[in-house]
Amino acid sequence: MEQALKGMKVVDLSQVLAGPYCTMVLGDMGADVIKVEKYPIGDDTRTMGPYINEESYMYMMVNRNKRGMCVNLKNEAGLQVLYDLIKDADVFVENYRPGVTKKLGIDYDTLKEINPNLIYCSISGYGQTGPYSNKGGFDIMAQGLSGLIDMTGERSGNPAKVGIAIHDIAAAETAIQSILTAYIHRLKGGKGQYIDISLVDSGLAWTVWEAAAYFGKGEVARRNGTAHRVSAPYQGFKTKDGFILIGAGNQKLWENLCRHVLKKPEWIEEQRFLTNSIRAENAAELEAVMEQVLTTESSDYWLDLLDTHGIPSGPILSYDQTLNNEQIKSRDMILDYEHPVVGSMKTLGFPAKFSETPGQLVKPAPLLGQHNKEVLTELGYTPEAVEQLTDDAVLNNRPSKVEA
């Protein structure tokens, strides 16, 4: 089937997670993504395990559907290779701090002289402006600055990091939508443009309920376990043999829960639990009395009963249970494919299901410098010139049984 972004050319200088995740999604949708890795060792995630046949699974998880090069940009000839790539590129993605790109000669002002239609996307910890712009910023620092760590964890516990690199992924998703917006603008006759993406800004923009509470009545979001800030019961509860989630987030669901599941119809008229907002204010008391009932039976018992009466609920799974769950498998969220060095392997599937232009897993993550020759040949370099660039420490290829 035709892919939606077929014909889009992306040059990707980013590494680790935010940028590579962004360009992977563009590649999934059909863009020709050329990943240019730093000389001589490549993307930092290549040094992160687990490894299979010396290939990093971390690297392979976010770099499928890309062609790979390894170019020495501190060398004049290597910089010229990048400039040649930029000439007919639609999108350029990098994740350097301010000033570094100018020092390298790959800043927006320089590259737009080569290609005025270029969409240049910069992803960094704090953005290109502001007092923190020159600081190094990873996901955990972004979580700290955005207030996310302070508001995550049990009510009486220590601050906790969110279990995934949520600001990295937020920045990646923000970059994707921004790049596509700029691309549509250009298709409609507009110019190329510069896009400044910050990990902090991207994650902070998702804190909409917390911002509403603060702007509306000066309430600061605090640690609340699994409980919702303005709705109850809407959290995890202990049962006889584990924990389950219950989301009776409106009055009708609450009353059904009391009457048909918990067998406590008297709670409907109890002043502590009279309305949703009052229940939220008394969430700790509500949790305590509900768990007195819920701990009398197993998780499966309650989930079946909740489902019977149409009350949103679900299990709390460990990650291995998630990856083996029938719902996850039925949605093709686990894909099997072949890698030239690793062999048979698994990766996560495409979360968006398109009827006409679905995402496709066309190629595995590239080996280091795997497509140096292929890409440069397309740009008009002769085989002898490519070989000379390799000899001159401009290009690097990973020693492998797989031909580059």
The neighbouring-strand residues paired with 36 are: 69
Distances (CA, A) of 193 to 35, 148, 150, 365, 397: 21, 31, 36, 29, 33
Q: Tell me the pLDDT of the chain averaged across its residues.
A: 96
Beta-carbon contacts of residue 267 (< 8 Å; ≥ 6 apart) = 258, 273, 289
Beta-carbon contacts of residue 218 (< 8 Å; ≥ 6 apart) = none
The HSE-up count of residue 170 (CA atoms within 13 Å, CB side) is 24
Confirm whether 168 is domain-assigned.
yes
For residue 362, give the nearest of 61, 57, 62, 27 by alpha carbon: 27
Report pTM: 0.95
For residue 401, the model assigns a pLDDT of 37
Question: Tokens 């190329």 identify what position?
Answer: 192
Confirm whether 375 is domain-assigned.
yes
pLDDT in tens, 312-368: 999 999 999 999 999 999 999 999 999 999 999 999 999 999 999 999 999 999 999
Please tell me whether residues 91 and 49 are part of one structural domain: yes
Please tell me whether residues 64 and 158 are part of one structural domain: yes
Widest CA span in the chain? 85
pLDDT in tens, 305-328: 999 999 999 999 999 999 999 999
The number of domains in the chain is 2
Confirm whether 214 is domain-assigned.
no
Confirm whether 110 is domain-assigned.
yes
The neighbouring-strand residues paired with 1 are: none
Distance CA 183, CA 191 (A): 9
Computed from CA positions of residues 195, 47, 144, 61, in that sequence, does the dihedral angle turn out positive or negative?
positive
> Which of the residues are catalytic?
168
Domain boundary among 268, 286, 315: 315
Please tell me whether residues 91 and 184 are part of one structural domain: yes
State how beta strands 91-94 and 119-124 pair: parallel
Segments forming the whole domain that contains residue 71 = 9-206+327-392
Q: What percent of the chain has pLDDT over 90?
A: 96
Helix, strand, coil shares of the chain, percent, nearest 5, are: 40, 15, 45
